[in-house]
Amino acid sequence: MAKIKPSKGAPYARILGVGGYRPVRVVPNEVILETIDSSDEWIRSRSGIETRHWANAEETVAAMSVEASGKAIADAGIAAEQIGAVVVSTVSHFKQTPAVATEIADKLGTAKAAAFDISAGCAGFGYGLTLAKGMIVEGSAEYVLVIGVERLSELTDLEDRATAFLFGDGAGAVVVGPSTEPAIGPTVWGSEGDKSETIKQTVPWTDYRDGIVERFPAITQEGQAVFRWAVFEMAKVAKEALDAAGISAADLDVFIPHQANERIIDSMVKTLKLPESVTVARDVRTTGNTSAASIPLAMERLLATGEAKSGDTALVIGFGAGLVYAATVVTLP
């Protein structure tokens, strides 16, 4: 019986570069209030959101991804031809096939990189990061581009008082490559499909196509149920990720949770008992909830503003529709 030759990958993987793209149009709460009965004070107190970015016709999922990816590749100091795989997490690319990752890989000038999309909602970046780490350690790619990108403005019901103010558009990308020391910890991830009704698309695309409904499908959620789950269950997952990495909250420099809601972020900080010295990402205030894009966008902003620095130890955690979640500890690029 023939023996298969073992893979020869890198001993470890790390994030080498990060890039982000936010659409040109900035949308304040006042615009949202044109279609719902609420107030700026209520929106800020409930979510922390002051503004969000909405894409124009030219700022497609692919176009935003290419912009963010170009920055990440430059930040990593490599050439696009060295990218061996492109992983895109999105729920707002409206072509079932082909994967938008293939278009992005081609426009970036990769040398026929493997390319595919994943659908893991707000945990998608963590899922993609875990896949990238596996490819590099296994040896199927030397560098992997992980993109989180959304145009959630197209899936927002502007008359739904519970969600109209939440969502924004944007793209965040990281380049993951080889490392001689651990820089991406074990991932604690999973799903709770019994809670799938708490965040979902209102109706299938086929219902709209067949005229069963007249309104285009949108994202809806049970706000209180999601809040309780995120605050109590995801704090436990975050603690498990710290334990898996062999560190404590006191060892952290940065906390980058999914930018869903500032009240959730504040509650997780309190539950985890994070020291005041830990920098906490609050990109949600001006970017809104961008689902899969929120963690890399927040990471990029923290590094750009100097609130975080290269080499810092960061806990990242994403959670959302599914319900799905993914948390890990990383060394910032």
- Other Cβ atoms closer than 10 A to 24: 11
Question: Could you tell me how many residues make up the chain?
Answer: 333
Q: Which two tokens stand for residue 163?
A: 């969600």
Catalytic, 56? Answer no
Catalytic one among 29, 53, 93, 289?
289
Q: Please identify which of the residues 29, 93, 122, 261 carries the catalytic annotation.
A: 122
Among the listed residues 53, 93, 258, 261, the single catalytic one is 258
Q: Which residues contact 243 (CB under 8 A, 6 or more apart)?
A: none
SS3 of residue 135 by DSSP: helix
Q: What are phi and psi of 2, to 5 degrees?
A: -70, 145
Contact yes or no for 174/71 (Cβ under 8 A): no
In the chain the beta strands, taken as DSSP E runs, fall at 12-21, 25-28, 51-54, 83-89, 114-118, 143-151, 169-179, 188-191, 199-201, 219-221, 254-257, 279-280, 313-320, 324-331
Q: Residue 53 catalytic?
A: no
The residues annotated with a catalytic role in the active site are 122, 258, 289
